[in-house]
Structure 1
Amino acid sequence: MPTPKHAAVPAGLPEEIFTLLAGAGIRLTLEELQQLRQRLHAVVNYHATIGVMGKTGAGKSSLCNALFGREVAEVSAVEACTRSPQEIDWSIQQGKGLSLIDMPGVGESGRRHDEYTALYRQLLPELDLVLWVIKGDDRALSIDEQFYQQVLLPALWDSAIPVVLVVSQVDKIEPCREWDWVKNHPGPCQRQNIEAKVAQVCRVFKLPPSQVCAISAEEGYGLVTLVEKVVTLLPAEKKWSFTREARQDTVSECAWRSASQGLWDTLTTAVMAMARESWDFVSSKLSALAGRLFSWW
């Protein structure tokens, strides 16, 4: 499968956009052109924030390493407490990068329930995406379901933050000895059980298959599909930042095209808004002039 070599915006893209505008007869002022350049810079250099959630031991750290190809050892604690969220900040340069908020595992104890509930509700509105990780061979989903229904959903009702449920460590789903270690994919019976697990998660959490993905981070299984799902769900202006930071062998041509289209759509929307504002200004002046002409008659 061909994958892009890098996630850099072509150097000539801004100038090509301005050339297309001129060719289409759209004339922007110097101030509007500067605003457009700033919008392009903001989208290309957007710093995304992703919340990685789920019960302790579900495989959150392994997922982060597998998706972004860097060690989670680069961790700075938001607060000096093991029960506090950990912010993993991966920045290439100023203005670029990705922050992963590794939330404390839900279900640690009943005593911590209220504390974690308040913490999740506080941080959720600041996120661009939520990855909720569920261990593939974990049959007890009641705690995950409770937090999802009572904490996550209410916090996201008034926002457009996408959620992807990640069924992790599926290589451990029985019969685990069927796993093909050469080709890194499940055997026939194991595949059926993985599909059954995904169907169960969809049913329990009332989510479509487009928001649930089965992976094995250690084996690199399902990561390409996960990236495609994430890029599809993200708003147009945020697709590029996630694709830019993802490990490039996990980014398919489909995901790449979707991210590129999101970048283009964001810029064209900005152009149309500016052109509309310019036209509204001109139109208002013409209307005023027409009014004066009619008054003379």
Structure 2
Amino acid sequence: METSKPLAGIPPRLPEELIAVLQNSGVRLTLEDLQQIRERIHHVVNYHATIGVMGKTGAGKSSLCNALFGRDIAETSAVEACTRSPQEIDWSLQEGKGLSLIDMPGVGESEARDTEYAQLYRQLLPELDLVLWVIKGDDRALSIDEHFYQQVVLPLIWDSAVPVMFVVSQADKVEPCREWDWRKNHPGPCQGINIAAKVEQIRRLFKLPASQVCAIAAEEGYGLVDLVEKIVAMLPNEKKWSFTREAKQENVSNQAWQSSSQGLWATITSAVKTVIKDSWDSVSSRLTSLASTLFGWW
């Protein structure tokens, strides 16, 4: 699949070019108006996303994050590993921007610890922008995942509207694993059928639409472009850009890039419309033209 146009260099042009279009259209902007517009643009472009990575121990959470964001979590984490505490990893690709990954303790160790972890999940879930729930492709024991999702996660995301993506990891381990094409990094015929069956099983078990389940093989790069597209589609407009901005760019397709940039633009123009109010109709077409120049949509 074709990958995206580069994201770097577009956001810094937005504030002054947008304001110039408004002023050239005859819109009268007070210093307070200008400040509001600049602050809103800065907030959206530099939004710091927080992603919770959940699932049982050994499901492939770290491998997923390394592949998705192109960074080695083990090297960047300043927090000592602890199976009973969440590990928060922060990084920034550009000054003023960043992403936080919260690697949650793996469930299923023991009944006592799972009770402790349930309380921890309840505390942290409302603070997240996205949940990635990772399940190994060859894992048949899903009762623990199902219990935590139904009893702990689902009630909380109903209230907070935090999107959840289920990731079937290590697809290359799904039988018959010898079919995996290592040259193309793609499953063989029978293996592909079984991977699709696993995705369908997860979808039915957790009562999810197909858009919220994805199969990957992180270290082989399989399924990552599809995963990014699905995540961007799920996120609210104001949060799409922050995720796409931090993702490893070879995993960002043109479709994901366009959805992300349109979400960014929709959020910004919504804020501008609130500021200029009655003058909106006279400048909306000029702002559309600016968006075309900056992002090349049309």
What TM-score do you get using the length of structure 2 for normalisation? 0.89
- Mean Cα displacement is larger for which, 4-13 or 128-137? 4-13
Q: What residue number does 1:110 align with?
A: 111
Structure 1 equivalent of residue 83 of structure 2:
82
- Please give the alpha-carbon distance, in whole angstroms, between the structure 1 residues aligned to 2:3 and 2:211: 23
Q: Which residue of 2 aligns with 1:283?
A: none
Tell whether the 8 Å contact from 2:81 to 2:87 is kept in structure 1 after alignment. no
Task: Identify if the C-alpha distance between structure 1 residues 130 and 7 changes in structure 2 by more than 3 Å, giving closer, same or farther.
Answer: farther
Give the superposed CA RMSD. 1.7
Contact 2:15/2:37 (<8 A) preserved: no
Partner of 1:238: 239
Larger radius of gyration: 1
Which residues of structure 2 form unaligned runs of 5+?
281-298
1:197 is displaced (CA, Å) by 0.4
Alignment check: 8 A CA contact 1:7 1:243 kept? no
CA shift digits 1:187-213 (9 cap, x unpaired)? 111111111000000000000000000
Q: Is the 8 A contact 2:122 2:156 kept in 1?
A: yes
The answer (yes or no) to whether the contact 2:27–2:279 under 8 Å persists in 1 is no
SS in 2 for 1:76: coil
Write the distance in 2 (CA, Å) between the matches of 1:8 and 1:225: 25
Q: 1:126 to 1:2 in 2, by over 3 A?
A: closer
Shift of the alpha carbon at 1:95?
2.6
After superposing the two structures, state which structure 1 stretch, 87-96 or 51-60, moved more. Answer: 87-96
Residue pairs, 1:92-171, within 5 angstroms: 92-171=93-172
Task: Tell me which stretches of 4 or more aligned residues in structure 1 moved more than 4 Å.
Answer: none
- Alignment-mate amino acid for residue 78 of structure 2: S
Contact in 2 for aligned 1:50/1:130 (Cα 8 Å)? yes
Cα-to-partner distance string for 1:93-143 (whole Å, 9 max, x where unaligned): 543110000000011111112100000000001100000000000011111
Q: Deviations over 1:25-57 (max 9, x none)?
A: 433222111111111111111111000000000
- Percent of pairs identical after alignment? 72
Q: TM-score, normalised by structure 1?
A: 0.89
> For the Cα contact (< 8 Å) 2:91–2:100, is it kept in 1?
yes
**Contact between 1:53 and 1:133, CA under 8 Å: does it hold in 2?**
yes
In structure 1, stretches of 5+ residues that fail to align are 280-297
The number of residue pairs the alignment matches comes to 278
2:3–2:252 CA contact under 8 A, matched in 1: no
TM-superposed CA distance for 1:5, in Å, is 3.0
Partners in 1 of 2:105 and 2:249 — Cα distance? Answer: 28
